[in-house]
Amino acid sequence: MSYVKPSDLVTSLVDAGEAKIFMSTRDTLLRAYMAGALLTLAAAFAISMSVQTGSPLIGALLFPVGFIMLYLLGYDLLTGVFVLAPLAWLDRRPGVTGRGVLRNWGLVFLGNFGGALTVAVLMSIVFTYGFSTEPDAVGVALGHIGEGRTLGYAEHGAAGMLTLFVRGLLCNWMVSTGVVGAMVAKDVPGKVIAMWMPIMLFFAMGFEHSVVNMFLFPTGLMLGGQFTVMDYLVWNEIPTVLGNLVGGLTFTGLVLYATHGRTGASRRAPEGAARASTDVPREEPVDQLV
């Protein structure tokens, strides 16, 4: 598996962020729409497999296929642009502004929501035979997920809101690690492996992903979940979006940029020591040989 060094990786991340900021409105919306649709279809698949097998781990193992498909096709998730777009602004790329970053985030949010809502309607039709019967076992499970991830948090008040935010933070730490991991590898098998691991982790741990939730909660409402749109917005989507932003940008984007993009001053060896070191043969450092 070919490997991109971290210093080169950060340049690629900044380049990607710059490209997304300058992308046309049409392309941004289309790519975000398809990303939302593919990711949430994979969520429906994973939940279906979990219900049918009785093992949530099966769903976690299978869910990353959606993320892999959308990434390989060049589509965009809100959780990804939360990390990439600000790096181009921090790097002071010509023409990149804070307003451009916010524009990109807003368009990707709208596109992701449109794709997720489309899949929510389509899968609700599947689970109910066109709304002519009661939801099947998977549909019932989706309704309960919506209740647990809104009213379940609300029952704990401020502690529930903090837990929700932290779950969103941890989620995009892992998801953005998957985005970066895909850019570390140059071939498709390497990209798949690097994406699979952190995406599986976030799904298995029940962390909160803003785009996945754009599917789960509308589906839950259509299938009889006992919660409201306001419950969804206040006790899930808004705190999750904020947690995703903080987690991805802080634990992935800014850390990589700080240590590999804007490295600190290196410590220079004393002049006498440097001359002495040239007189003695030494092995090449391992990182120079890779």
Angle (deg, nearest 10), helices 6-21 and 78-90: 100
What's this model's pTM, rounded to 2 decimal places?
Answer: 0.89
Q: Determine the distance from the C-alpha atom of residue 7 to the mean position of all C-alpha atoms in its chain, rounded to a whole number.
A: 22
What is the per-residue pLDDT for 2?
82
For residue range 198-231, what is the model confidence (pLDDT) as tens digits? 999 999 999 999 999 999 999 999 999 999 999 9
Return the percentage of the chain with pLDDT > 90, whole number: 87
- Range 146-151 average pLDDT: 94
What is the per-residue pLDDT for 20?
98
- Range 152-163 average pLDDT: 97
What is the per-residue pLDDT for 282?
42
**Mean pLDDT of all residues in the chain?**
91
Rounded CA-CA distance 252/133 in Å is 45
What is the per-residue pLDDT for 263?
64
For residue range 3-30, what is the model confidence (pLDDT) as tens digits? 899 889 999 999 999 999 999 999 999 9
3-state secondary structure (DSSP) of residue 91: coil
CA-wise closest residue to 235 among 213, 265, 206, 258: 213
Per-residue exposure over 31-45, b if at least 16 CB sit within 10 Å of its own CB, e if not: bbbbbbbbbbbbbbb
What is the per-residue pLDDT for 286?
37
For residue range 91-123, what is the model confidence (pLDDT) as tens digits? 999 999 999 999 999 999 999 999 999 999 999
For 231, the token pair is: 């419950």
Helix ranges restricted to H, the chain: 6-21, 25-53, 56-62, 64-72, 78-90, 98-128, 137-148, 151-154, 157-184, 188-204, 210-222, 229-232, 238-248, 255-256, 271-278, 286-289
